[in-house]
Amino acid sequence: MKKLSLIYLLVFFGTLLLAQETAPEEIEHSPENSACFSCHGSTIYSYYNDILGRNVTKRMNPYFLIDSVLYYNQNHKSFVCTDCHSYECKDFPHNSEMRMEPMPTCLDCHEGDDATARYNFEKIDQEFQESVHSTKHSDEFTCWMCHNPHSYKINARTNENIKETIVYDNNICLSCHADINKYQLISPKKNPNVIESHDWLPNQISHFAHVRCIECHTASSDNVMVAHQVQTKDKAVKKCVECHSQNSMLMASLYKYRAKETRSQYGFLNASILRDAYVIGANRNIYLNVISGVIAGLVILLIIIHAILRMLLK
């Protein structure tokens, strides 16, 4: 229980740090969104009740509360609310049928879009369709289950701080796997305890703080920056050598973008890892390996020569 609390505290404070460093200094509010944020950006809202014949004040449902700071600092900050929501939402009180309005998916906008072709949305969708999130759950499991449409921001491709990327991406997983209420939106099963299911992993806190969940639970791909093909638990990586080796799989996942930028034919093949972390067994240099081997060989040779000379002198 103590270990579980430490991990959640680590994630919590990491999130606060990330929010402080990514919050914009100036926020340009869209005039068209102002009416929406007047209610959905506040914990309370007021309106005139025709039946009662007076103004009433209500508490906003926390699930419908949108942080305008996060909204105007995310990928879709240039959008107006009605780009995704019905124009009927401009009328208040809202039509009750608006709650059943289907939300657009990523491909509804990005499929075949030359401007975002480099992100390979079609490939991402293909990986998602093959993942357990899609095959084991209903159609209600969409992109928005993991990526909040009002606050999601690309991180792995743009953030220079790997540790912040780890916190950000792991929070996406924990937002469901550490929240029984959200977990049971798509599964009647009891939410598995993250700590107990990883009791085989040595030094859990260190691993959770320095490695993303998807490093071990997805199939890496050369075409997609962040893997989306979440696999069944029996296929999860459990061999230490997969990461703790010179050809660490982290170079094909967590450090993929930086590796493409910094990897060269000579020198540190894993220089990307050295910039932010020390991974036992992965931080190796071919030249240091050769030099160490030569020194070891010379030491052995000197011992042999010394032994021969001792024998001859006797």
Model confidence pLDDT, tens digit, residues 154-194: 887 777 788 888 899 999 999 888 888 888 888 888 777 88
Q: What pLDDT shows up at residue 257?
A: 66
Q: What pLDDT shows up at residue 292?
A: 84
- Between 122 and 11, the higher pLDDT residue: 122
Please check whether residues 155 and 28 belong to one and the same domain. no
Q: Which range of residues forms the domain containing residue 62?
A: 24-72+74-103
- Residue 266 covered by a domain: no
Please check whether residues 182 and 221 belong to one and the same domain. yes
Please check whether residues 120 and 223 belong to one and the same domain. yes
The region, left, alpha or beta by phi > 0 then psi within -120 to 50, assigned to residue 113 is beta
Q: Where does the pLDDT of residue 137 fall: very low under 50, low under 70, confident under 90, or very high at 90 and above?
A: confident
pLDDT of 88 over the 80 cut: yes
Please check whether residues 1 and 121 belong to one and the same domain. yes
Please check whether residues 2 and 134 belong to one and the same domain. yes
Please check whether residues 230 and 130 belong to one and the same domain. yes
Determine the Cα–Cα distance for residues 297 and 152; give it in Å rounded to an integer.
55
Beta bridge partners of 54: 49
- Residue 164 covered by a domain: yes
Q: Where does the pLDDT of residue 210 fall: very low under 50, low under 70, confident under 90, or very high at 90 and above?
A: confident
Total structural domains in the chain?
3
- Residue 155 covered by a domain: yes
Domain end point (choices 238, 269, 294): 238
Please check whether residues 125 and 179 belong to one and the same domain. yes
* Phi, psi values for residue 203, rounded to 5°: 50, 60
Please check whether residues 152 and 85 belong to one and the same domain. no
Model confidence pLDDT, tens digit, residues 234-257: 899 888 888 888 777 787 777 776
Please check whether residues 98 and 197 belong to one and the same domain. no
Contacts 24+ apart (CB under 8 A), 140-146: 140/185, 140/186, 141/186, 142/103, 142/105, 143/105, 143/106, 144/103, 145/176, 145/185, 145/186, 146/172, 146/173, 146/175, 146/176
Please check whether residues 176 and 304 belong to one and the same domain. no
Q: Where does the pLDDT of residue 305 fall: very low under 50, low under 70, confident under 90, or very high at 90 and above?
A: very high
Burial of 52 (0-12, 13-18, 19+ CB in 10 A): exposed
Q: What pLDDT shows up at residue 32?
A: 84
**Average model confidence (pLDDT) for the chain?**
81
Please check whether residues 167 and 93 belong to one and the same domain. no
Give mean pLDDT, residues 6-24.
47
Determine the Cα–Cα distance for residues 308 and 314; give it in Å rounded to an integer.
10
Q: Which residues of 136-164 are buried (b: 16+ CB within 10 A; e: fewer)?
A: eeeeebbbebbebbbbbbebbeebeebeb
User: How far is C-alpha 130 from the geometric centre of its chain's CA atoms?
Assistant: 19
- Residue 60 covered by a domain: yes
Please check whether residues 96 and 128 belong to one and the same domain. no
